[in-house]
Structure 1
Amino acid sequence: MSASLDWAHEWLTSLIWTGKAFAITVIVFTVVVALLARYTHWGRQFRRIGFPYFRPGRSWVSWRPLLTLALMLWLTALAVRLSLLFTFVNNDFITALQKLDSTAFWYAIAIAGVLMAVVVVISLLGTLINETFVIQWQVWLTDHMVADWLKGSAHHRGRFVTAPVDNPDQRIQEDIASFVTQTHWLAMGAVDAALSLVSFTALLWGLSGPLSVVGREIPHAMVFLVYLYVVVASVLAFRTGRPLIRLNFLGEGLGASFRYALVRLRDNSEDIAFYRGEDAERMTLAARFAAVIQNRWAIVFRSLKLQGVNDTATQVATVFPFVIQAPRLFAGAITLGDITQTGQAFDSVQESLSFFRNSYEAFAAYRATLDRLTGLLEANKQSRALPSLTAADHPDALEIEDLTVRRPDGRPLIGGLSLSLNPGQALLIKGASGSGKTTLLRSLANLWPHAQGSVWRPTDGHTLFLTQRPYLPLGTLRTALAYPQRAHRMDDEQVPQVLHSVHLGHLADRLDDETDWSRILSPGEQQRLGFARILLSRPRLAFLDEATSALDEGLEHALYTLTHDELPECMLVSVGHRSTLNTLHTHHLQLLGAGRWSMAESPQPTAASRRPAPAGSGQALAQTKK
C-alpha cells in the first residue's frame, strides 16, 4: 500500500504552500479590512478605534504591531496546513487497518507523531504571540483612550454635550479589554475559517463523487451540498440573532447603571445612615437590578432560539457526509480511509462556513462594544468643541474683560464683568445661592461652556483651584499634598513644617501611608490640607471655593493670614458667605443675580494689600454694573 503523500519531501512542499498561503492571506486580509473600514458602519468605528495602533512611524518599535500581526497570520496558515496533513495521515492508517497492512499502519503512526510534536510547538508559540499581541494592544489603547478622555477636560465638559455618555470608567476598563479580545478572536477566527474553507474545499472536491438528483447527475455534489446547507443555516441564524446586538448594548448600560448606584451608596453611606434611607436605597437598587434581569431574560430567550438553529445545523452535519459517500464505499469506489477523510474535510468546510453563523452572538456583543467606545470618543470630541473663554498667559495679574456667564438655558448669571487683580491682592466673591459664584470659577478654569469673554492669568501650573472639599488622589498622603504635581518634587524638610503650620502636625509621621485619605480625614482636615497644598506649591494665583466652610472663624483667619504672610505676592480669589472673610480680602465682588454685579475695594484692606503695588500695575476697580 502506497502512502497518500510523499512524506519524505512533504516538509518542503508544506513550507512552499504556507508561504504562498501567507502572501495571499496578507493581500486579501488587507483588502477586506480596507473595504469594511470604508463601506460599513462598524468598520468605520473599528478604523477610528483600532487603526491608530497599527500606524507605523519612523522607529522600528512602531512597526511591531504590524509585524506581530503578520506573524500571527503566518502561524494561522501553518496551522491550517497541519490540519490538512492530519487528514491524509488519518486516511493512511485507517486504510492500512482496513487492508491489514501493519507496515503502512506504523509508518502512518510515526508521521502522526512528528506532526503532533510540531502542532504542540506551534500551539505554544502561537499562544504566547497572540497573548502578547492582545496585552500590548490593550495597554496602548487604554493609555490612548484615557489621554483622549482627559484632554481638554473632556472628562468634565462631557456632561454638557447633547448626549452625554454613561459610565466612561466602565467603557475604558471593561470595553477596551473586550474590544481587543473580541477583535483578535473574530479576525484570526475569520482568517482561519477562510483558509480552511479554501484548503478543504479543494480536498473535498477531489474526494466527492457525482450524485443523481431527480434524474440529473451533479458532479462533485458534496461540495455544492455543503455550501447550500451552511448558507441556509446561516441566513436563519442571522435573522434569529440580529436582536442580540441591541440587547447586548442595552445590557452593558443597565449593568453599569446598577453598579453606579451601588458605588454611590458606598460613597454616601454615612449620609444614608443618618437619614435612615436604607429602605429607599433598597427600592432604588431593586428597580435598577430588575431592569438588568429583564434584559438578561430577553438575551437568554433570544440566545436559546439562536442556539437551537446552530445546534440543529451542527448535529445534522455530523452524519451528512457519510450518508452521501456510503453508496460509493459499498460499491468499492473508495476506501474506508477515503470516507473518513471525506468526513473530516466536510466537517472542516462546514465549520469554516459556519464560523460566521456561530460567531453571530459574539459579533453582536462586539458591535455593542464598538458603539460604546466610539460613543465615548465622540463625546470627548464634542466636549472639546464646546465654546470656551479666550484665555492667555499673564504671569503677574488676573485680568477679566467683558466676561458673560449664562445658565444652560441662556439666562444670564453674570454680564460684562471686567476686573484686574495685581500680585498681593485678594478678591472675595459673594452673593445669594444660585447667583453664579462657583460657576464663575468654573468659567475662569474653562470648565463651563456657557461663558464668553477674555481672561489673562498665570498658567503653566502657576494657578491652583481649591474646591470646598479638596480632591485627594489615591496613594500616599505625600501624593495628596503634592497634587497635581509629583510628590518627589517636594522638600522633605518643608512638608512637616507646613503640616504643623496648618494644624495637621499629627499627620507628619504618616506621609508615606497609602490609604483612602478622603475617608480618613474629616472635612475640616481636608480643607486644612488644601491650604498646605497652596503653601507647598506656591502658586501665583489661587481660587478658593468655600475652602474654609468646615473650619471655625479663628482657624479660617489664621490660615488666610498664614497664606498672606508666606505668599505675599500670591493673588487670592475666594468664594464665601461669612462676613469674617471681608477683612481678609482687598476687593469684593457682589453678584446680584440676573447678570448684575458690583465691585468695590475693601474698607479695611489686609496687610498684604497695603504693600505697594509693582510698577506699571493696573488700578483696582470700584464699580457697579446694573
Structure 2
Amino acid sequence: MQAQVLRNQTLKDTTSPLSAFNRFWENVRAIAGPYWYPTEPGDRAFSDVIRTWAMLILLILLIIALVGVAAFNTFISNYLVNVIIEEKDITKFTQTLSIYGVSLLCVTFLVGFSKFVRKKIALDWYKWLNNRTLSKYLSKRAYYRINFKSDLDNPDQRIAQEIEPVTSNALSFSATFLEKVLEMTAFLVIVWSISQQIAIVMLVYTVIGNLIAIYLTQELNKINQEELELKAEYNYSLNHVRNHAESIAFFQGEKQESNIIHRRFNNLLKNIERKINWERGKEIFNRGYQAIIQIFPFLVLGPLYINGEIDFGQVGQASLATGLFANAMADLISEFGTSGRFSSYVERLSDFSDALEEVTKQPKNVSTIKIIEENHLAFENVTLQTPNYEQVIVEDLSLSVQPGEGLLIVGPSGRGKSSLLRAIAGLWNAGTGRLVRPPLEEVLFLPQRPYIILGTLREQLLYPNTSRQMTDAELKEVLQQVNLQNLLSRVDGFDTEVPWENILSIGEQQRLAFARLLVTHPSFTILDEATSALDLENEGRLYQQLQETKTTFISVGHRESLFDYHQWVLELSQDSSWRLVTVQDYRTQKAIATIPSTNPEIKIDDSSQDKSLIPSETTTVTGLSHKEMNELTDYSVTTIRSKASKGETITNRDGITYRYDKNTKVLKWVRV
C-alpha cells in the first residue's frame, strides 16, 4: 500500500533528530510565514497584519503579567505565614490576606483573558489559512490534477480536520512554552534567594528531565504520525462504502467491505494501544519528576528551620516555589509530548500545500497543446498524450466541427474518446498541435455520471450559473421537456434541498443534466455517453431538442441510435490513428464489414467514399485459425476460442483488430 510505504519512509527520515527538526522548522516557516510575515502582494492586508501583531503583543504582556503576579504571590504567602505564626497580628493578617486574595483574583482573570486572546488569534489564523488552502485547492483545477498524485492521500481530510489543529496547537504550544519558561526562571530565582544549593539541584534536575522528555516525545511523534495516516485510511474506507453503497448492495459485498474496514480499524487499534503504553511511561515520568522535586526542599530546608537558621515563611515560600516550578516543568513536558501530533499536522499540511503548487505549475521542457479561443471548434495537427507523457492517445488529429453540426466519437474502450473531451476542457494538454475552441463559458459538458450539486432543485437546474433568474413556470416547462414533470411531486418545490443522488436514478440524473442544457442554451455542448442510462425514446427526445437549439455538439457513445443525430463520425483506433467519415459512409462500411463471407479472404472496396475524408484503398483481410491468432497475440488458445464463441473481437500486437466469422464455410478470424 502506498500509504504504508510513505509511512515507513517518514519514520526512516525522522531517525535523525537534527534533520527532523530542520524539516519541521522549514514546514512551520512555510505555513506561518505568509500569515505573520507576508512578503508577496495580496497575501494579507496591512491592517490585518498590524491587528494580529497587536493581539500577539497583548498576549505576551498578559503572560508576563500572569507570571509576575504568580511570583509575587509566593512572597505574599511567605509574609502571611510569618504574620500568622510569628507576629500574630490580626490587623496585618487581614491586610495581607486581602492583598493575597486580590492577587489570586488577578491570576484568575489573567489566565482566562490570556487564553481568550490566544484562541482568538488561533481562530483568525485558522480562518485565513483555511481560506488560503481552499483557494489554492480550487484554483487552476488543482482539485482535479492532484488526483493524479498517487503519493498524496485524503486531501478532503487534510482541509477539514488538519488545518485547525495546526493553528490552535501552534498558539497553545508557543504561549505555554513562554509562560512556563518565565515561571521556571522566576521560581528558580526565588529559590536561589533562599538556598543556592536547592536552585543548583533544580537546574541540573531540569536538564536531565528535559533529555528524558525529548526521548519520550520523539517516539510519540512517530506514533502520532502513524495515527493520523491510519485514521485517514479508516475514514476513507467508510466514505468509500457510502459513495458506492448501491454497487456494494448489488454485489452483496458487505462481508468483503466489512473485512477491509475491520482490517484498517485493527491497524488503528494497534497503533492506539502502542500509544497508550508510551503515554503511560510518560505519565509515570511526569508524576515522579514532579513528586521528587516537591520533596527535595523539605529535605534541605527542614533541618535549617529546626536549627533556627531560617524562618517558617521561607520554608513555605521555597516549597511553594519548587512546587510551582515542578508544575511548570510538567506542563512544559506535556506540551512537548503533544507537539508530536502538532508536527504531524504541520508535515501533512505542508506536503499538501507543496503538492497543490506542484500540480498547478506548468511543466518545463515538455510540449503542450496550444489552445486558441475562437468561436468554433477545430483540431489542428493535434497529438494528445496522457498527462505523464507515457502514452499517445491520438496522433496528428486535424478536423473542424462546423456550427450547428454534430460529431460522434467512436472507438474501442480505452482508446481516448473521453480524453479528447478532457483536452477540449483544458484538463489534459500534454502533446503538440493547436486546439481551437470557444471560451469555456460557452461550452456545457454533460458527463456519463452527471454532476449533482449540494443544493436545491432550482440550483440543480441553473448550475453552473445559479444566479440566473427564471420563474417557476419556466423551470416547470423545462422539466416537462426532459420528461421529469413528476419530480416536483416528490419534493416540496424548487427551493427544497434533499440528497438528490439518493432519490434520483442515473437515468433521471442524466435527464436533469439535459435540463441544464435547455436552461443555459450553450453555443457548444460536449456529451460523454450522456444518455447511456436512458431508453431510446427518451434519448431521441433529448437529442431532438438538442438539435433544435442549433448548438454545436460533440458526443461520445457506442449506441447505434446516436448516428441518427450526428453528421460526422470520428473513429479512434488502437494504434492512435483516426479517421473522419460521414455518418452515412460509416454505416455503409459497417454494414459491409458485418456481411457473412463465403471466402476466408475478404476485400472491401472504399472507392465509393468521399476522397476528402478518408483514403480510398482496398484492404485485404485474411482468415486465420485459432492457433495462428495465438501466435499473433498474447491470448491463449482457450481464451481465443472463448472470444470466438462470444463474438468478441481481438486486437493483435500490431494493433490490427479481428473478428471471428461463424459462417460454416469460413470459421476463421478475419480482419476488421
Whether the TM-score (by the shorter chain) exceeds 0.5 is yes
Q: Write the deviation string for residues 87-126 of structure 1: whole angstroms up to 9, x where unpaired.
A: 1221121111211232222111110222233334334433
Amino acid at match of 2:383: T
* 8 Å Cα contact 1:601-1:621 kept in structure 2: no
Q: Say whether 1:553 aligns with 2:536.
A: yes
Q: Say whether 1:468 aligns with 2:448.
A: yes
Q: Say whether 1:257 aligns with 2:233.
A: yes
Do the aligned partners of residues 54 and 539 (structure 1) sit closer, same or farther apart at CA in structure 2, a change above 3 Å counting? farther
**CA–CA separation in structure 2 for the residues paired with 1:589 and 1:65:** 60
* 8 Å Cα contact 2:165-2:345 kept in structure 1: yes
Name the structure 1 match of 2:92: 104
Name the structure 2 match of 1:43: 25
Superposed counterparts of 1:366-515, under 5 Å: 366-385=342-361, 387=363, 389-407=368-386, 410-448=390-428, 450-459=430-439, 461-487=441-467, 489-490=469-470, 492-508=472-488, 510-515=493-498
Match for residue 54 of structure 1 among 5, 20, 36: 36
Offset of residue 389 of structure 1: 4.3
**CA–CA separation in structure 1 for the residues paired with 2:127 and 2:231:** 24
**CA–CA separation in structure 2 for the residues paired with 1:454 and 1:70:** 57
Do the aligned partners of residues 138 and 623 (structure 1) sit closer, same or farther apart at CA in structure 2, a change above 3 Å counting? farther
Offset of residue 370 of structure 1: 0.9
**CA–CA separation in structure 1 for the residues paired with 2:496 and 2:426:** 34
Name the structure 2 match of 1:138: 126
Superposed counterparts of 1:192-271, under 5 Å: 192-208=179-195, 220-271=196-247
Offset of residue 231 of structure 1: 1.1
Q: TM-score, normalised by structure 1?
A: 0.84
* 8 Å Cα contact 2:370-2:432 kept in structure 1: no
Q: Say whether 1:85 aligns with 2:72.
A: yes
Q: For 1:515, what is the secondary structure of its paired residue?
A: coil
**CA–CA separation in structure 2 for the residues paired with 1:454 and 1:249:** 47
Superposed counterparts of 1:309-348, under 5 Å: 309-348=285-324
Name the structure 2 match of 1:535: 518
Superposed counterparts of 1:20-35, under 5 Å: none
Offset of residue 395 of structure 1: 4.0
What runs of 5+ residues in structure 1 fail to find an aligned partner?
1-35, 209-219, 606-619
Q: Write the deviation string for residues 257-281 of structure 1: whole angstroms up to 9, x where unpaired.
A: 1111112112222222222211111
Name the structure 1 match of 2:619: none
Amino acid at match of 2:34: P
Q: Write the deviation string for residues 446-491 of structure 1: whole angstroms up to 9, x where unpaired.
A: 3346544432322252222221111111121122222232345555
Offset of residue 592 of structure 1: 0.7
Q: Write the deviation string for residues 74-98 of structure 1: whole angstroms up to 9, x where unpaired.
A: 1111111121121122112111121
**CA–CA separation in structure 2 for the residues paired with 1:257 and 1:183:** 25
Offset of residue 355 of structure 1: 4.4
Match for residue 583 of structure 1 among 544, 554, 564: 564
Amino acid at match of 1:479: E
Higher relative contact order (CA 8 A, sep 6+): 1
> Percent same amino acid among aligned pairs?
29
**CA–CA separation in structure 2 for the residues paired with 1:374 and 1:525:** 42
Do the aligned partners of residues 451 and 221 (structure 1) sit closer, same or farther apart at CA in structure 2, a change above 3 Å counting? farther
* 8 Å Cα contact 1:586-1:601 kept in structure 2: yes
Q: Write the deviation string for residues 223-262 of structure 1: whole angstroms up to 9, x where unpaired.
A: 2211110211221222233122222111111111111111
Q: Figure out how many residues of one structure are paired with residues of the other and give that number.
A: 563
- Runs of 4+ in structure 1 deviating by more than 6 angstroms, as ranges, are 36-39
Q: For 1:543, what is the secondary structure of its paired residue?
A: strand
Q: For 1:594, what is the secondary structure of its paired residue?
A: coil
Match for residue 181 of structure 1 among 161, 168, 172: 168
Q: Which moved more, 1:84-93 or 1:436-445?
A: 436-445
Do the aligned partners of residues 490 and 344 (structure 1) sit closer, same or farther apart at CA in structure 2, a change above 3 Å counting? farther
**CA–CA separation in structure 1 for the residues paired with 2:272 and 2:20:** 34
Q: For 2:477, what is the secondary structure of its paired residue?
A: helix
**CA–CA separation in structure 2 for the residues paired with 1:580 and 1:598:** 20
**CA–CA separation in structure 2 for the residues paired with 1:377 and 1:494:** 44
* 8 Å Cα contact 1:53-1:65 kept in structure 2: no
Amino acid at match of 1:403: V
Do the aligned partners of residues 467 and 337 (structure 1) sit closer, same or farther apart at CA in structure 2, a change above 3 Å counting? same
**CA–CA separation in structure 2 for the residues paired with 1:188 and 1:411:** 54
Offset of residue 393 of structure 1: 4.9
Name the structure 2 match of 1:152: 140
**CA–CA separation in structure 2 for the residues paired with 1:124 and 1:624:** 84
* 8 Å Cα contact 1:428-1:585 kept in structure 2: yes
Match for residue 65 of structure 1 among 52, 55, 61: 52
Name the structure 1 match of 2:641: none
**CA–CA separation in structure 2 for the residues paired with 1:322 and 1:336:** 11
**CA–CA separation in structure 1 for the residues paired with 2:615 and 2:350:** 48
Q: Write the deviation string for residues 264-318 of structure 1: whole angstroms up to 9, x where unpaired.
A: 1122222222222111111111211111112112212222222232222122122
Offset of residue 44 of structure 1: 1.3
Match for residue 164 of structure 1 among 146, 151, 156: 151
* 8 Å Cα contact 2:405-2:567 kept in structure 1: yes
Q: Say whether 1:595 aligns with 2:576.
A: yes
Amino acid at match of 1:46: V
Amino acid at match of 2:261: L
CA RMSD across the alignment: 2.7
**CA–CA separation in structure 1 for the residues paired with 2:369 and 2:329:** 59
**CA–CA separation in structure 2 for the residues paired with 1:365 and 1:341:** 37
Match for residue 283 of structure 1 among 259, 276, 288: 259
Q: Write the deviation string for residues 372-425 of structure 1: whole angstroms up to 9, x where unpaired.
A: 111111221221236584454524112223332335582322112222223212
Q: TM-score, normalised by structure 2?
A: 0.79
**CA–CA separation in structure 1 for the residues paired with 2:320 and 2:562:** 86
Name the structure 2 match of 1:298: 274
Name the structure 1 match of 2:8: none
**CA–CA separation in structure 2 for the residues paired with 1:302 and 1:377:** 31
Offset of residue 623 of structure 1: 4.7
**CA–CA separation in structure 2 for the residues paired with 1:373 and 1:470:** 31
**CA–CA separation in structure 1 for the residues paired with 2:77 and 2:27:** 44
Q: For 2:584, what is the secondary structure of its paired residue?
A: coil
Q: For 1:549, what is the secondary structure of its paired residue?
A: coil
* 8 Å Cα contact 2:379-2:435 kept in structure 1: yes
Offset of residue 183 of structure 1: 0.7
Do the aligned partners of residues 391 and 516 (structure 1) sit closer, same or farther apart at CA in structure 2, a change above 3 Å counting? farther
Q: For 2:395, what is the secondary structure of its paired residue?
A: strand
Q: Which moved more, 1:388-397 or 1:526-535?
A: 388-397
**CA–CA separation in structure 2 for the residues paired with 1:64 and 1:188:** 18
Amino acid at match of 2:120: T
Offset of residue 604 of structure 1: 9.1
Amino acid at match of 1:77: I
* 8 Å Cα contact 1:389-1:446 kept in structure 2: no
**CA–CA separation in structure 1 for the residues paired with 2:233 and 2:168:** 24
